[in-house]
Amino acid sequence: MTLSAPPHAALSGTPGIPPATPDATRLPPETDGIWYASYPPDVEPEIDPDRPASIVHFFDDCTARFRDRVAYVSLGVSMTYGELARKAAAFAAWLQGVGVRPGERVAIMLPNTLQYPVALFGVLKAGAIVVNTNPLYTARELGHQLKDSGAQTIVVFENFAKTLEDALPGTQIRNVVVTGLGDLLGNGPNLKGRLLNFVVRRVKKMVPAYHLPQAVRLRDALASGARRALAPVEVGPDDLACLQYTGGTTGIAKGAMLTHGNLVANLLQAKAWTAGKLDTAGETVLTPLPLYHIYSLTVNALIFMALGGRNVLIANPRDVKRMMQMLRRETFSCITAVNTLYNALLENDAFRDRDFSGLKLALAGGMATQKSVAERFHALTGRPIVEGYGLTECSPIVTMNPVDPDRLLEFEGSIGLPAPSTQVRLRRDDGEWAGIGEPGELCVKGPQVMKGYWNRPEETAGAFDDEGWLLTGDIGVMDARGFIRLIDRKKDMILVSGFNVYPNEIEDVLAQHPGVREVAAIGVPDAVQGERVKVFVVRRDPELTAEQVVQFCRKHLTGYKIPAGIEFRDILPQTNIGKILRRELRDEELRKAGSA
């Protein structure tokens, strides 16, 4: 069929935000709906409105249909969909037994292990709200999240139980569930799991001593829950599924309220986008990004569940050498990662020596993919890195590039086209809508957009304009085909003598230097220019000098974009998914300036 823009009235609005009264004097921008003509021929512009009412309905349907298939693999041990369904139901029953009521918040502080999906879907089946928590949090960060969410129950990996102990004062936590790396690696005696736990605790000493007298072991909770009858809880699309905390690198972390309807809509948007490219015969996806992050949660845990896929879990993707040892006997048809992880994999001999003939799809998000990384990956595997764009507040997917396994196009750096049932506009600095080729802040509407921020009405109001558009803070440009290219984060833009300088451009140029492994660019205060550019470089070539960096920049950048400061580092600060923290680097520079 020929795809065209559906009537504006048919497009979904933003949950929790009242529709604005149309202003007849303000015409919609010329960009509205132009992307539909660029949709792949088998992708509909709207998702099926007759969708599952909740993630619980979706989970029950998938685990029933794919009962005997492997859902997850961790450390060589498999868990089928049927086993996952039984364990999730047992955990939900245990939660009910200790008094967890629908709507209560339950924190999950787990890495990528079999325990995570059991806890995730168990919490949802109990009608409670998942509070995804980074296991690497400090006690201060964890304490803030527990207090802010009002969580009364937490599931924690024993390696981080000491952090929880230190964070507990002032929280409402009354139920603590502790688990170890080997706990779910078998049934019965579970000799492999017991041995692994012994090595982690006693040999590698990775579990600091902790005192949580109220704690229950997860395996005991599952055994107890299996003896109880689970009381079904009716959950609908408007009920909250997750509090997904965001903004911790730019200020106080706040919980984005994602409903069951938000998550179901986003997984169906992505599923529709991959129609005909991935099948339900059994894809295997490599999952190195943490499932507690919204990118991996939606893409790996939910979208591949809809396909009856097999998730190969990697608990520590930063240890690439160990990861490749674990993957010696594994094959995968799909991988999700961020630019820094793709770069690290390309530096690994074992990864470069793999057979990629079965690879169908390599997805990237979370940060801009650098052209040099994309080109090296394509040269090695014969497959492009398919970039998308999203944010926590959108569950997270907003735009996607066409998913074509045989697409051998030159990497353009586009974040793709708006997803089905999604509106995207760009607003100029003067408040008017941008036209084709004009830069502006990305504004989004769609069924995947969050309900708001938990207990923060002012921040919620500030995140949306008067017409209900979510303001992303990202600056982009839309071309005549509807493809969007990000220029940069609004707050990361550097102003040098009145000229806008975008860190992504500088980083992309320097990443092409053969002696550069990783790079981050920031603006630092300057008495004459307002700001000047400083770059932090992780060298691939230990002999690389600052002068060589400057000379390379002079070949590719206008004068005011050339870094005035260069600092070599062994590592750059990163988030839990490998996104470089420019904010942390800026804060360091400001502290230095203050001390001076």
pLDDT band at 136 (very low <50, low <70, confident <90, very high): confident
* Domain end residue (candidates: 219, 235, 251): 235
CATH code for the domain of 554: 3.30.300.30
Structure tokens at 248: 């911790």
Q: Is the pLDDT of residue 576 over 90?
A: no
pLDDT for position 408: 45
Q: How many CA atoms lie within 13 A of 293 on its CB side?
A: 26
Of 235, 263, 296, the position where a domain reaches its end is 235
**313 domain residue, yes or no:** no
Is the residue at 134 inside a domain?
Answer: yes
- Does residue 275 fall inside a structural domain? no
Q: What number of other Cβ atoms are within 10 A of residue 596's Cβ?
A: 5
Domain assignment of residue 205, given as a range? 81-235
What is the total count of domains within the chain? Answer: 2
Query: Is 247 domain-assigned?
Result: no
Residue 27, pLDDT above cutoff 90: no
- Per-residue pLDDT averaged across 120-132, rounded? 98
User: pLDDT of 49-92, one tens digit each?
Assistant: 778 999 999 999 999 999 999 999 999 999 999 999 999 999 99
| Tokens at 285, concatenated | 């996806």
Question: Residue 405 has what pLDDT?
Answer: 53
State the CATH number of the domain containing residue 178. Answer: 3.40.50.980
- Report the candidate in 157, 198, 206 with the shortest Cα–Cα distance to residue 178: 157
Considering the chain, what is the average pLDDT of its residues? 90
In the chain, the percentage of residues whose pLDDT exceeds 90 is 76
21 — pLDDT class (breaks 50, 70, 90): very low
In a domain, 472, yes or no: no
Contact 539, 557 (CB under 8 A): no
Mean pLDDT of 101-126: 98
Pick the last residue of a domain from 235, 270, 289: 235
Q: How far is CA 549 from the centre of its chain?
A: 32
**What are 475-533's pLDDT values in tens digits?**
999 999 999 999 877 778 888 887 878 898 899 999 999 999 999 999 998 887 889 99
Contact 450, 294 (CB under 8 A): no
411 band by pLDDT with thresholds 50, 70 and 90: low
Distance, in Å, from the CA atom of 510 to the CA atom of 133, rounded to the nearest integer, reads: 34
Q: Is residue 500 part of a domain?
A: yes
Residue type, position 576, single letter: N
162-213, pLDDT tens digit by residue?
Answer: 999 999 999 999 999 999 999 999 877 778 888 999 999 999 999 999 999 9
Segment 137-159 mean pLDDT: 95
- Residue 20 above 60 pLDDT? no
Residues 6+ apart with CB under 8 A from 507: 368, 370, 519, 520, 521, 535
Tokens representing 224?
């107890």
Q: What is the dihedral of CA 207, 212, 214, 216, to 10 degrees?
A: 0
Residue 453 belongs to some domain of the structure? no
DSSP secondary-structure letter at 449?
S
Is this prediction's pTM over 0.85?
A: yes
- Is 591 domain-assigned? yes
